[in-house]
Amino acid sequence: MKWKVCGLKDPDNIALVLEGVQPDYIGLIFYPHSPRFVGNLSPKCLPNFPEQTKKVGVFVNQSVEEIYRLAQEYGLDLLQLHGKESPKFCDTIRNKVRLPIIKAFSVGNEFDFSWLQEYEVDFFLFDAAGKNYGGNGISFDWQVLQYYYLSQPFFLSGGIGLEQVPLLSSLHFPSLHAIDVNSRFEISPGFKDPLLLKKFSHELEKIRTAPQNQR
């Protein structure tokens, strides 16, 4: 089980996070209306990322040209499309940018997975439905994911903090690729608490290494 820390925007804070833990993914939000928007963060100010930590650019209903430009400028490894992007748009982005795509969807207590079949993306991300495009700090009923049957692996997001670790340890979803954390580990929007993340990393490692029959 991999994990992602999303919504960082300060180079010093990113450096501290990377010193304390080495998540599999770090998410940089390029949506201007998010409180975690990277703003004027220069790519030159980003700390060096360890090889195993991939940079994910998070976009919401933005143009192909803007996504392509920012992907090149920041050296992104993956694209997360968190808005109302259509299957056709995702195909266009894939052909233009040539990077793996995570397509995010808001999930309530019920969700029809059948209409996701039109999306030829690399991953899905399932987040709780809320007033914002992510970062709402709320969860959804994860049991709805037992009905997921598509081939793409998925990220699980939405209000995940240290208190959810016991629930995470009991999950048995074969397609679960990574846990996505954000607001529950913040000092303020866009600034993460490295010590809390380190605790979460240790707990997640216990889940990763536990024998299957102990989960």
What are the pLDDT digits (tens) for 17-49? 999 999 999 999 999 999 999 998 999 999 999
Residue 180's DSSP bridge partners are 4
> For helices 87-97 and 64-74, what crossing angle results, to 10°?
40
Q: What percent of the chain has pLDDT over 70?
A: 93
How large is the average pLDDT for residues 191-202? 97
CA proximity to 135, closest of 58, 41, 55: 58
Position 82 confidence tier, pLDDT thresholds 50, 70, 90:
very high
Query: Are the CB atoms for 84 and 157 separated by under 8 Å?
Result: no
What are the pLDDT digits (tens) for 92-111? 999 999 999 999 999 987 88
Residues comprising the chain, all counted: 215
pLDDT over 80 (residue 198): yes
Q: Find tokens 């490295």 and name the residue.
A: 194
For residue 137, report the phi and psi dihedrals to the nearest 5 degrees: 75, 20
Domain boundaries, the chain: 2-214
Exposure string (b/e) for 69-88, b if CB count within 10 Å is 16 or more? Answer: ebbeebebbbbbbbeebeee
How large is the average pLDDT for residues 75-91? 97
pLDDT score for 108: 80
Instruction: Could you please state the CATH topology (level 3) that the domain comprising 2-214 is classified under.
Output: TIM Barrel (3.20.20)
Query: Are the CB atoms for 3 and 160 separated by under 8 Å?
Result: no
What are the pLDDT digits (tens) for 200-214? 999 999 998 887 645
Helix (H, G, I), strand (E, B) or coil at 44: helix
Report how far residue 98's alpha carbon sits from residue 101's, in angstroms, rounded to the nearest whole number. Answer: 9
Position 137 confidence tier, pLDDT thresholds 50, 70, 90:
low
CA proximity to 56, closest of 103, 96, 13, 15: 103
Position 132 confidence tier, pLDDT thresholds 50, 70, 90:
low
DSSP 50-93: PTT-EEEEEESS--HHHHHHHHHHHT-SEEEE-S---HHHHHHH
